């Protein structure tokens, strides 16, 4: 629901307006009370949204939707104006002497006038809505609250090893294990076919991690294909997992063309008994491109294919063994749900527990035996401690799901949407930010949390020394994990999440909600055919992710045409994106309010000091990450430049930026490094925290 999302933005702004140097703002912009007035109005919006959140949850009141949309636009405008003011004040300070150089801004009356007009317009729009709010049935809103602290709700965590919650797979695992380890009388290929959320990947993962499987095969590899597959990535991943190349060999592998990669995979595997998992295959073409790399000699090697489309499985091999993933029975579905909610039920009396059981079994039937829907519902119910709250959840999904013509996927999306709607307001932007990352990408936890901090999604603790921002970020991430909205794929030595990923259905929900809130847009590698963005939406986007392929040319990117953009985050992912010095300068000039820049797989031809020079001019920037290549002067046969890898320091480095007073101080994280391909590990040492769901 939009009210709680906008509330998270308002909470962030309240903290930022408190830090505004009001006297200097008033001197620059000539309005003695504008800054304080805006702060007061934002405080009223925060309380209004808090009220609206409660009303919509308890009464299902939809009359506020248009009003909430207006609030979102107002809050975004206010955020832009505040950042512009802070930028201008800092610029004057850094030029040496505030009052001595203030004429520099007054000599730019158009710029100053635009800011003042926007300031006044925002306050005026809020005042008009405030006068009308009784017509929306709103009564007795509390006074302004400026707190930005969220309840912890028992989030202190013990990072002991946690087993994956899986039910109903034992017999399937036993049957498929026999197929995979039997040399005679069984197809080389085993296909697991089922709809999204039915547990295909979970089943394949259990097989992949079995000790008997590890012993039976000489080498193993797991690659996620998905709808956005790139054959080069897939081949490099297979080589990396099966051969464990040295750093020197990795460099050589990166420089190989697709034909050389195919030959290298083939030459290595023909001597081995291998097991390969191709997860989430959507298209026949993906298999056709990969097939030449796999030797056909029958030495006991096996391939596991997971797909939603049976025709794809039959295209891979008409004689393959097809395992159709079944839905869970009512008993199995309840067993899986109970694993998620037993902490709630075991803490109530026996008589009340029976009511929880009855209501839980009623709700789980609406999930049609789909594990993904069940675990997400369980993550939602686990936060509801009272029976009346369970009854409200049941009512919320009941009337929508009593429509048999909608089909199973409708059930899944309704349950996922309900879980998002019930997120605390301060977790919603953290969840939506995950949509910036490409599908099936392993997301590193530390950089993710630092991006959240840079964006202002994580508030400062009220008690000094209570905890760090990064510790709070870890708590936020753990809450998303407990709600089954994100899966852990790798842990560190202490059991803390090291990397994670998002199920593709949840990512679909995430992108839908993000577009609805004007939160982010995604550009595809072709630039002209954007993954989610149109020309109009791009100009209004708050965050942009660029997902590109091999040898993309940044000069064709529409980002270069956006002047004075309101973009707060720019994330780029891919294999080789060339950025010239002039394009880099234009980009930085066009992003005056940017807070996060994260670039993977770019290559440049200009020195580091020129790159850093532009970075230092970005006052609001809090996080900067780059993995890049140096452009080699040699050209390949195709006429493209071959990236020459140069490893820089792996650890973060602070860029020292002269930015004036401490109120504007910031840390910019910078990494350098090669753009190495990493695949989601599916080993017993790094289990997923996802439960009974496929990728």
Which pair of structure tokens corresponds to residue 302?
């096996």
Cα distance between residue 553 and residue 557, in whole Å: 8
Looking only at the bridges linking them, the beta strands covering 669-670 and 653-654 are: antiparallel
Examine the pLDDT at 130 and tell me if it is beyond 90. no
Q: Residue 277: which residues within 8 A CB-CB, separation 6 or more?
A: 204, 208, 221, 222, 223, 303, 304, 306, 682
pLDDT at 558: 64
| pLDDT at residue 207 is higher than 70 | yes
Asked if residues 303 and 189 have their Cβ atoms less than 8 Å apart, the reply is yes
- Is the pLDDT assigned to residue 221 strictly greater than 50? yes
Tell me the per-residue pLDDT of 158-178, one tens digit each, with 9 for 90 and over.
333 344 668 888 899 999 999
pLDDT value of position 160: 33
Residue with tokens 């830090």, as numbered in its chain: 19
Candidates 136, 151, 120; CA nearest to 49 is: 136
Q: Which two tokens stand for residue 473?
A: 């970020």
Say what the pLDDT of residue 430 is: 96
Over residues 108-135, the mean pLDDT reads 72
Q: Residue 274: its pLDDT value, please?
A: 93
From 105, 115, 88, 100, select the one nearest 619 (Cα to Cα): 88
pLDDT at 242: 92
Output the six-digit token pair for 269: 């595997």
Residues 6+ positions from 166 with CB-CB distance below 8 Å: 199, 202, 206, 336, 691, 692
Determine what percent of the chain is predicted with pLDDT higher than 90. Answer: 23
| Segment among 57-66, 472-481, 605-614 with least mean pLDDT | 57-66
Q: For the chain, what's the residue count?
A: 695
| Residue with token string 């294999």 | 575
pLDDT in tens, 601-654: 777 777 667 777 777 788 888 888 887 665 543 332 222 222 333 333 333 344
Q: What is the reported pLDDT for 619?
A: 84
423-to-47, 379, 564 alpha-carbon distances in Å: 18, 10, 33
Q: How many CB atoms lie within 10 A of CB 368?
A: 22
Q: What is the pLDDT of residue 30?
A: 54
pLDDT recorded at residue 475: 92
**pLDDT at residue 432 in the model:** 95
The pLDDT score that the predictor gives to residue 553 is: 67
Cβ within 8 Å of residue 591, ≥6 positions away: 565, 567, 570, 618
Q: Kindly state the average pLDDT of the residues 545-563.
A: 71
State the Cα–Cα distance between residues 298 and 231, nearest whole angstrom. 24
Domain extent listing, the chain:
2-136, 170-324, 330-422
What pLDDT was estimated at residue 446? 92
pLDDT of residue 14: 74
The string of pLDDT tens digits covering residues 649-684 is 333 344 343 333 222 233 344 434 333 323 333 333
Token pair for residue 693? 């769901």
Average pLDDT over residues 414-418: 79
Q: Which of 37, 58, 46, 59 is nearest to 12 (CA)?
A: 46
- Does the structure show a pLDDT above 90 at 281? yes
CA 695 – CA 689 distance, rounded (Å): 13
Rounded alpha-carbon distances, angstroms, from residue 667 to 13, 91, 226, 616? 20, 18, 37, 11
Identify whether the C-beta of residue 112 lies closer than 8 Å to the C-beta of residue 29: yes
Q: What is the pLDDT of residue 662?
A: 26
Dump pLDDT digits (tens) for 181-200.
886 567 889 999 988 888 89
Q: What b/e sequence results for 165-203 when a residue is b if at least 16 CB atoms lie within 10 Å of its CB, and e otherwise?
A: bbbbbeebeeebbebbbeeeebebbbbbbbbbbbbbbbb
Query: What tokens appear for 449 in the block?
Result: 């949390």
Span of 10-24, 344-358, 671-685 with lowest mean pLDDT: 671-685
Neighbouring-strand partners of residue 322: 191
What is the tens place of the pLDDT at every residue in 560-608? 667 667 899 999 887 777 788 888 888 888 888 999 999 887 777 776 6
The pLDDT of 103-111, averaged and rounded, is: 55
**Long-range contacts, stretch 488-491, CB < 8 angstroms, 24+ apart:** 488/687, 488/688, 488/689, 488/690, 489/442, 489/680, 489/681, 489/682, 489/686, 489/688, 490/442, 490/681, 490/686, 491/159, 491/686, 491/687
Please give the average per-residue pLDDT across 5-25, as a whole number. 68
What integer pLDDT is reported at residue 398 of this predicted model?
56
Confidence of residue 433 (pLDDT cuts 50, 70, 90): very high
Concatenating the DSSP letter of every residue in 398-445 gives HHHH--GGG-HHHHHHHHHHHHHHTS-TTTHHHHHHGGGSPTTPPEEH
Distance CA 576, CA 133 (A): 52
Measuring CA to CA, which residue among 194, 682, 688 is closest to residue 412?
A: 194
Mean pLDDT over 488-496 rounds to 90
Q: Which residues contact 8 (CB under 8 A, 6 or more apart)?
A: 425, 426, 428, 429, 457
| Pairing of the two strands 321-324 and 189-193 | parallel
Q: Determine the pLDDT at residue 96.
A: 55
| Maximum mean pLDDT: which of 89-93, 360-364, 400-404, 554-558 | 360-364
Q: Which CATH superfamily, name and number, covers 170-324?
A: P-loop containing nucleotide triphosphate hydrolases (3.40.50.300)
Could you tell me the two tokens for 257? 């063309």
| C-alpha angle 254-257-262 in degrees, rounded to nearest 5 | 100
Among the ranges given (299-313, 358-372, 403-417, 675-689), the one the predictor scored with the smallest mean pLDDT: 675-689
What is the signed CA dihedral for 38, 41, 45, 50, rounded to 10 degrees?
Answer: 110
């Amino acid at each position: 629901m939009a009210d709680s999302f906008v509330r998270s933005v308002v909470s962030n702004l309240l903290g930022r307006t408190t830090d505004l140097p009001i006297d200097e703002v008033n001197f620059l912009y000539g309005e003695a009370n504008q800054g304080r007035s805006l702060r007061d109005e934002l405080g009223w919006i925060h309380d209004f949204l808090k009220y609206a959140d409660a009303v919509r949850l308890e009464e299902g009141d939809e009359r506020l939707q248009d009003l909430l949309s207006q609030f979102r636009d107002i809050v975004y405008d206010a955020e832009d104006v505040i950042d512009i003011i802070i930028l201008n004040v800092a610029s004057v300070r850094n030029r040496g002497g505030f009052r001595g150089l203030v004429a520099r801004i007054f000599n730019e009356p158009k710029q100053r006038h635009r800011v003042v007009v926007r300031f006044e317009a925002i306050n005026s729009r809020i005042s008009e809505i405030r006068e009308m709010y009784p017509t929306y049935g709103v009564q007795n809103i509390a006074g302004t609250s400026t707190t930005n602290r969220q309840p912890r709700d028992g989030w202190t965590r013990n990072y002991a090893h946690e087993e994956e919650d899986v039910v109903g797979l034992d017999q399937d695992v036993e049957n498929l294990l026999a197929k995979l380890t039997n040399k005679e009388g069984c197809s080389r290929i085993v296909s697991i076919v089922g709809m999204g959320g039915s547990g295909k990947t979970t089943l394949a993962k259990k097989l992949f991690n079995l000790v008997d499987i590890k012993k039976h095969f000489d080498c193993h590899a797991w690659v996620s294909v998905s709808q956005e597959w790139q054959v080069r990535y897939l081949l490099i991943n297979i080589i990396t997992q099966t051969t464990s190349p040295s750093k020197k060999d990795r460099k050589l592998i990166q420089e190989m063309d697709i034909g050389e990669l195919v030959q290298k995979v083939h030459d290595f595997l023909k001597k081995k008994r291998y097991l390969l998992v191709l997860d989430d295959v959507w298209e026949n073409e993906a298999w056709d491109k990969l097939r030449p790399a796999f030797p056909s000699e029958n030495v006991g090697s096996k391939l596991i294919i997971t797909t939603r489309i049976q025709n794809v499985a039959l295209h891979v091999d008409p004689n393959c063994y097809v395992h159709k993933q079944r839905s869970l029975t009512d008993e199995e579905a309840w067993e899986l749900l109970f694993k998620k909610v037993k902490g709630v039920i075991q803490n109530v009396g026996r008589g009340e527990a029976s009511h929880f059981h009855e209501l839980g079994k009623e709700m789980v039937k609406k999930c049609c035996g789909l594990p993904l829907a069940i675990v997400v519902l369980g993550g939602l119910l686990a936060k509801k401690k009272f029976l009346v709250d369970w009854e409200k959840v049941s009512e919320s999904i009941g009337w929508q799901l009593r429509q048999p013509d909608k089909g199973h996927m409708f059930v899944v999306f309704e349950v996922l949407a309900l879980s998002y709607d019930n997120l605390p307001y301060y977790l919603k932007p953290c969840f939506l930010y995950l949509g910036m990352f490409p599908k099936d990408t392993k997301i590193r936890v530390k950089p993710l949390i630092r991006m959240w901090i840079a964006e202002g999604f994580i508030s400062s603790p009220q008690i000094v020394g209570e905890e760090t921002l990064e510790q709070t970020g870890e708590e936020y991430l753990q809450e998303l994990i407990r709600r089954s909205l994100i899966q852990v794929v790798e842990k560190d030595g202490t059991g803390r999440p090291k990397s994670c990923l998002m199920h593709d259905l949840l990512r679909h929900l995430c992108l839908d909600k993000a577009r609805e809130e004007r939160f982010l847009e995604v550009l595809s590698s072709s630039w002209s055919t954007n993954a989610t963005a149109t020309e109009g939406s791009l100009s209004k986007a708050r965050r942009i992710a660029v997902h590109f392929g091999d040898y993309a040319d940044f000069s064709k990117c529409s980002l270069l045409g956006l002047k004075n953009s309101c973009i707060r985050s720019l994330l780029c992912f891919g294999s080789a994106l060339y950025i010239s010095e002039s394009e880099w300068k234009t980009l930085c000039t066009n992003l005056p309010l940017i807070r996060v820049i994260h670039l993977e797989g770019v290559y440049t031809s200009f020195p580091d000091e020129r790159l850093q020079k532009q970075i230092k001019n970005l006052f609001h920037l809090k996080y900067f990450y780059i993995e890049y290549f140096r452009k080699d002067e040699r050209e390949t046969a195709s006429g493209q430049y071959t990236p020459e890898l140069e490893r820089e320091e792996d650890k973060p480095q602070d860029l020292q930026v002269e930015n004036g007073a401490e109120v504007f101080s910031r840390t910019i994280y910078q990494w350098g490094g090669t753009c190495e391909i990493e695949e989601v590990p599916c080993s017993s040492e790094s289990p997923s925290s996802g439960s009974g769901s496929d990728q």
